[in-house]
Amino acid sequence: MSELLIVLVIVLALLFDFINGFHDTANAIATSVSTRVLSPAQAILMAASLNFIGALTSTEVARTIGKGIVKPEFINNEVLIAGLTGAIVWNLFTWYYGLPSSSSHALIGGVVGGVVASQGFMVLNAKGLMEKIFLPLITSPIIGFAIAYMVMWLIFVLVGNVAPRKVNTHFSKLQIVSAAFMAFSHGSNDAQKSMGIITAALLSAGLIPEFKVPTWVIITCATAMGLGTSLGGWRIIKTMGARIIKLEPVHGFAAETSAALVIIGASMLGNPVSTTHVISASIMGVGATKRMSAVRWVVAKNIVNAWILTAPLSALVAATVFFLLELF
């Protein structure tokens, strides 16, 4: 029975990675598609490839997910199954309605919900959750907004007197680079979250001696995210690429570059951040340089509401699933 549960954890973790791929594809390619710098097929192929490569670069975020929420000895297969189910259900719900919510918040909320249902609040790693998880999740969008605002302002200073047509012609080429950077950064952070879950399950079952992500886990998770990315997520692409602000290539370059810098920095520090939050805030930061009214704040409000609800509702679904598992 325990072997079956471990297999189920691995399958659900890879399914989460797959869904994360098509759910968060918009983070990397929405601006490039909406500005017509890349065709949808070209953008998805590039994002899938670079998501895969980015996922192979580090395991620091995986370590934070696997050990930062709760000590490994308090993690069992039922908790992980419940947590992953909560995250998957919320991701599918927000994908269906085209809401760019955070897969990171969903996964962390789901695992917390499963742990609390199993052992109570006392086993949570309060310091790890605050310093390595919640604080970076909260501050990273703010940093993304600020950097994007400054990058866009600097671009205005440098090329403000140049004809807009000429500016966008040059930035069309640069935006391909920034979209690639964004896709790589997404893989470097998001794919590691499932790696951490699977490694925690293997350690809990005594199948590995220490918390070190096996090579086969890295490759499998990277592949699942790359395959998910290849399917795209057109509902969310529409929201990210057109409904927040009207984007030109210069805006896409500024937003993608700023967001990718924040995400890469977080990955190097082992901090799981939400690529959705960071790129959404960066797009808003770019829009705010034009004028505050350029940002469609009603759409932004709906996105923020989804952000706020993600962790608690994922936790609630996970707790419910855990209690159901206990009945059988």
Query: pLDDT, tens digit, for every residue of 231-276?
Result: 755 555 555 545 545 678 888 899 989 999 999 999 998 888 888 7
Q: Tokens at residue 299, please?
A: 């759409």
pLDDT for position 241 = 46
Cross-strand partners of 20: none
Average pLDDT of the residues in 102-106: 82
Torsion angles phi and psi, residue 70, rounded to 5: -155, 150
C-beta separation of 266 from 131 below 8 A = no
Between 17 and 68, residue with greater pLDDT: 17
pLDDT for position 298 = 63
Name the DSSP class of 292: G
Query: pLDDT, tens digit, for every residue of 29-81?
Result: 666 777 777 777 787 788 888 888 988 888 888 888 887 788 777 788 889 99
Q: Confidence class of residue 162 from pLDDT cuts 50, 70 and 90?
A: confident
Helix (H, G, I), strand (E, B) or coil at 22: helix
Q: How far is CA 114 from CA 11, 110, 120, in A?
A: 17, 6, 9
- b/e string for 230-259 if b means 16 or more Cβ within 10 A? bebbbbbbebbbbbbbebbbbbbbbbbbbb
Query: pLDDT, tens digit, for every residue of 120-157?
Result: 888 888 888 888 888 888 889 889 999 999 999 999 89
Predicted structure pTM score: 0.84
Q: Tell me which residue range forms the domain holding 191.
A: 2-327
Three-state secondary structure string covering 202-216: HHHCCCCCCCCCCHH
Query: pLDDT, tens digit, for every residue of 176-232?
Result: 888 889 889 988 888 888 998 999 889 888 889 888 899 999 999 989 988 887 775
Mean pLDDT of the chain: 83
Calpha distance 17→218 (Å, rounded): 12
Supply the DSSP string of 150-211, one letter for each residue. Answer: HHHHHHHHHHTTS-HHHHHHHHHHHHHHHHHHHHHHHHHHHHHHHHHHHHHHHHHTTSSSSS
- Residue type, position 251, single letter: H
pLDDT for position 173 = 83
C-beta separation of 273 from 136 below 8 A = yes
In the predicted structure, residue 299 carries a pLDDT above the cut 70 = no
Supply the DSSP string of 241-267, one letter for each residue. Answer: IIISS---HHHHHHHHHHHHHHHHHHH
Domain count, the chain: 1
- Residue type, position 200, single letter: A
Between 101 and 106, residue with greater pLDDT: 106
Is the CA virtual torsion 228, 229, 235, 240 positive or negative? positive
In the predicted structure, residue 319 carries a pLDDT above the cut 90 = yes
